[in-house]
Chain A
Amino acid sequence: MTHVVVDPVTRIEGHLRIEAEVDGGFVKDAWSSSTMFRGIELILKGRDPRDAWAFTQRICGVCTTVHAIASIRAVENAVGAVPPPNARLLRNLIIGSQCVQDHVIHFYHLHALDWVDIVSALSADPAKTSALAESISDWPLSSAKYFASVRDRIKGFVERGQLGPFANAYWGHPAYALPPEANLMAVAHYLEALDWQRDVIKMHAILGGKNPHLQSFLVGGMATPIDPDRQASINAGTIAELKGLAARARDFVTKVYIPDLLAVASFYKSWAGYGGGVGNYLVYGEYPEDDAAKPALFLPPGVIRKRDLSKVEAFDPAKITEHIKHSWYEYAGGDDQALHPSKGETRPKYTGPNPPYERLDTAAKYSWLKSPRYDGEPMEVGPLARMLVAYGSGHARVKELVGAVLKKLGVGPEALFSTLGRVAARGIETQILAEKMGDWIDQLAANMARRELRIHDNSKWEPSSWPKDCTGAGFHEAPRGALGHWVHIKDGVIANYQCVVPSTWNAGPRDAQGRRGPYEEALLGTPVADPTKPIEILRTVHSFDPCMACGVHVLDASQRKLAEVRVV
């Protein structure tokens, strides 16, 4: 039995650590730990709930919009503010474009290096690469000359030792399966994706008033003015610009990301047999399509248990609890309790080893993440959960695209419950959202045409209009999965605030009953060819798009070793 430690799994120090027992070349057991304390809840107590979004927006290093959305929804739910239709559409566009950008960047920047070997790309034949690219897409940048120039550029960086984002992956690892030409094509598209994200960021600048941190969120609506007769607002000109940007975003997804995903996946079909995980999926649902108290959602909410796609249960927020039996917290009522987030407590109590240490005591408390459960069960959240629930709920376009991907790869529906299924579901969701954005822009334009310009519900802005004591929940589907904020407002200020973030659902430790979290369960049975280079463990963990949501990123000029893989 070999004990493997990967710490951190993301480059952000102190975020995520995986310990695994490897025996006979396969993971026999695994533990997921976040070794950094978060606790935004503590910062928010006593503050004006209308400001909470600006703080929560900074929880996460990369997806700033998601905590802002969940926060304003929670406060609106508590005080009874009802955002007007335009605010709903503006939010859908912000959420959708964030998700599209995040998924594409995850694929090319954070996850591709688990599958793509850049050193192998150096030996690619540009003419063959061009033939490959043209066989899977009509994307114009596909000439042999273009791929030769990319290859030469990579060669230059390799020779000068400036591998940059590609440094220190496990080059030459036997688990890499792509031919050199596919590797070169993927690297070229990674560089193009960086250009492409400009367009998505421009959309945020138009919708969000200010970039890089959007400033247009508002409890009760949005602060993005809509007025066909004014310059600095959403008008006919900005609508046209948004439509152009959305079309370009969709073009790249359809012609580059999806073909690349399918090409890469076709070489890694064995990964449809690994990484399954807990087999339970939870979705809060997203993209309200109307303004009713319980609106229809474009991506439906629901719960799937034990991989049974024929039964999608209704989502009931009352069934969410958090355990801390294996987390560095204490509950006033004892560690075996499971508390609903509206009654949640954030009382840190570190009992782990003093760093540096070799191993965590996984029989005791071993993570700063709590263990969220739904009706007592661990649940996977994220793109795979969303696509499965939509599929099981009869979402026509999702069914069509899932069917097409399975057919193209020549695998059955059981392949969805895997590491590869997670990667594919993220792509399918990106395609669906990229297609949908144009509709929301059209609806915005239609509202403007009939002089429906409202963006904010002012009736509940003043704290004097609020109940003296009220609670609310805000649900959101962030790129990484189901995100919930719970707020308790008393006398106009925040009395309690709890966030349950997607990575807590997925990366949380065992619960009071000893059941593994989704990462832990997904790693069981993962092959590990070389315990000192456990790229296979990274493949499965990265397929969840891990984000430990704190974003401390201090630069390191002393060249201290920041992370390591150890076999102990």
Chain B
Amino acid sequence: MTSTSRPIRLLILGLGNLLCGDDGLGAAAIVRLKARYEIPDGVSVLDGGTLGLALLPYLEDAEKAILVDAIRTDDPPGSHVRLDGDDIGPAVASRLSPHQVGVADLLDAARWRGRLPDVLVLLGLVPKTLELGLHRSPRVEAQVPELIRRIVEEARGLGFTLTLRRDDEALAAPGSLDIARALGL
């Protein structure tokens, strides 16, 4: 597949489980991003949850992609992480034999098929707690606005301008049945 035939010019993909504390920070950030910013044509903002391989068609349809997720490093919880290109693969690789689906599998599958986006960036935060719960830990929550700012900045660097909505539009933004609405985000 050549880049020109890819229908999504920029995919912003939030990942993680909204029910598991900081694990859901990527998905939560995406929902807020959508509520607060006007998304230009060609940009697709998706809450990918924990769907793994089922996200492959979206990833492979994208020329460029920004993944947003919780990511562990040696830095303290709430630290910002940015990885790009070939650094993402090793960072998400695990050393197991069993074959459960996950983000690593998603990227690997696209690579195996020669359909990784031309530009791939991962933005995220180091999580503190992954325990069951609808809310982010305070240290992580405090950094979510900055994470959103970095997503907007990254998109701008890739040639896409997300503009802040007027307040009244922001209030009406999330879909009525979305769990995000249910979570009061």
Contact = CB atoms under 8 A, between A and B. Distances in A.
Contact of A55 (B102, B133, B182): B182
A141 interface: no
Q: Which of B16, B70, B99, B132 has the most CB of A within 10 A?
A: B99
A110 B56 contact: no
Contact of A557 (B17, B81, B100, B109): B81
Contacts of A77: none
B91 A555 contact: yes
Contacts of A113: 99
B132 A42 contact: yes
A562 B102 CA distance: 13
A62 B98 contact: no
A12 B52 CA distance: 11
Given A11-B96, A54-B179, A191-B113, A212 B50 contact: no
A318 to B, nearest CB: 30
Contacts of A538: 97-98
Interface stretch (A80-88, A193-201, A264-272, A274-282): A193-201
Q: Which of A42, A105, A215, A554 has the most CB of B within 10 A?
A: A554
B54 A201 contact: yes
Contacts of A111: 99
A43 B19 contact: yes
Contact of B96 (A164, A215, A562): A562
Interface string B157-185: 00000000000000000010111001000
A445 B18 CA distance: 37
Instruction: Give the interface residue-count category, chain B.
Output: 35 or more
B182 A557 contact: no
B50 A164 contact: no
A215 B178 CA distance: 7
B93 interface: yes
Contact of B17 (A8, A37, A58): A58
A157 interface: yes
Interface in A1-60: 8-12, 15, 37-40, 42-43, 51, 54-55, 57-59
Interface in A537-565: 538, 542, 550-563, 565
B48 interface: yes
B156 interface: no
A54 B96 CA distance: 32
A10 to B, nearest CB: 4
A153 B91 contact: no
Contacts of A57: 179
Given A557-B73, A557-B91, A550 B20 contact: yes
B152 interface: no
A559 B179 CA distance: 33
A555 B132 CA distance: 17
Interface string B116-144: 00000010100100111110000000000
Interface string B52-96: 111111100000000001111110000001010000011111111
A12 B69 contact: no
Contacts of B50: 58, 61-62, 551-553
Q: Which of B92, B96, B98, B109 has the most CB of A within 10 A?
A: B98
B14 to A, nearest CB: 11
A210 B179 CA distance: 13
A191 B105 CA distance: 12
Contacts of B113: 191, 194-195
Contacts of A42: 132
B174 to A, nearest CB: 11
A212 B48 contact: yes
A168 interface: yes
Contacts of A51: 182
Interface majority SS on B: helix, strand, loop or mixed? mixed
Given A54-B182, A164-B112, A215-B178, A560 B98 contact: no
B94 A556 contact: yes
A223 interface: yes
Given A54-B178, A58-B49, A557 B72 contact: yes
Interface in A87-136: 101, 105, 109-111, 113
A553 B112 contact: no
A555 B175 contact: no
A111 B98 CA distance: 9
Nearest to B124: A555
A539 to B, nearest CB: 11
A57 B16 CA distance: 13
A197 B53 contact: yes
Nearest to A534: B97
A66 to B, nearest CB: 13
B70 to A, nearest CB: 5
A552 B177 contact: no
A562 B95 CA distance: 7
Contact of B100 (A39, A43, A110, A201): A110
B89 A162 contact: yes
A110 B48 CA distance: 20
Contact of B47 (A15, A170, A213, A552): A213
B49 A167 contact: no
B109 A62 contact: no
Q: Which of B89, B93, B96, B124 has the most CB of A within 10 A?
A: B96
B86 to A, nearest CB: 10
A477 to B, nearest CB: 20
A55 B179 contact: yes
Given A8-B98, A55-B182, A165-B108, A62 B17 contact: no
B105 to A, nearest CB: 5
Interface in A146-202: 153, 157, 162, 164-165, 167-170, 191, 194-195, 197-198, 201
A40 B93 CA distance: 29
A212 B98 contact: no
A419 interface: no
Given A555-B92, A556-B72, 12 more contacts: A11-B102, A12-B100, A39-B132, A43-B19, A54-B178, A58-B17, A167-B95, A195-B113, A212-B54, A213-B51, A554-B16, A557-B73
8 contacts: A51-B182, A54-B178, A109-B105, A113-B99, A164-B107, A168-B96, A213-B47, A556-B91
Q: Name the 10 nearest CB pairs between A and B, nearest first.
A: A164-B108, A11-B100, A551-B50, A61-B50, A10-B100, A557-B91, A555-B71, A54-B179, A562-B94, A557-B73
Interface of B: 15-20, 23, 46-58, 69-74, 81, 83, 89-105, 107-109, 111-113, 122, 124, 127, 130-134, 175, 177-179, 182
